[in-house]
Amino acid sequence: MRFLDYAPILHISAKTGERAPKILETIDKIGETRRLRIPTPKLNKFLEEVTAANPPISPGRRHVRIMYAAQIGVAPPSFVFFTNVATTFHFSYERFLLNQLRDKFGFVGTPIRLQVRRRAKRTK
């Protein structure tokens, strides 16, 4: 089940009850990570490091630059990425960002939602 690649797999025995307490431990851990909030400066520093090593890829022709990001919700964690052009990321780059967020901040067992928006132009 590729769409659930973030979910942990537990091997337990229904017959003997072996490793059954592991279920409650895992539920608690997932509950904590589901409500985790990342401060915006920490998220943007992480994003700067990731995009310096691997710049964003867009399905269109225009070059995409991520200006900044913010977490807009918890349970499940939701992030918005503000870019220089209104577009979406290539599916492989979106998956890459999700995996990097999971590795860095420990979002175990919870889906992560990403939104991409164009940064609003400043008015004079």
Percent of the chain at pLDDT exceeding 70: 91
- Decide: pTM greater than 0.75: yes
**Nearest-angstrom CA–CA distance, 55 and 70:** 18
**Nearest-angstrom CA–CA distance, 7 and 10:** 10
Query: Residue 123 pLDDT > 70, yes or no?
Result: no
**Does 123 reside within a domain?**
no
- The band of 60, judged by pLDDT with boundaries at 50, 70 and 90, is low
- The band of 45, judged by pLDDT with boundaries at 50, 70 and 90, is very high
**Does 99 reside within a domain?**
yes
Segments forming the whole domain that contains residue 110: 11-118
- Predicted local distance difference test score (pLDDT) of residue 122: 66
Q: What is the CATH number of the domain that holds 86?
A: 3.30.300.20
In the predicted model, what is the mean pLDDT of residues 19-35? 89
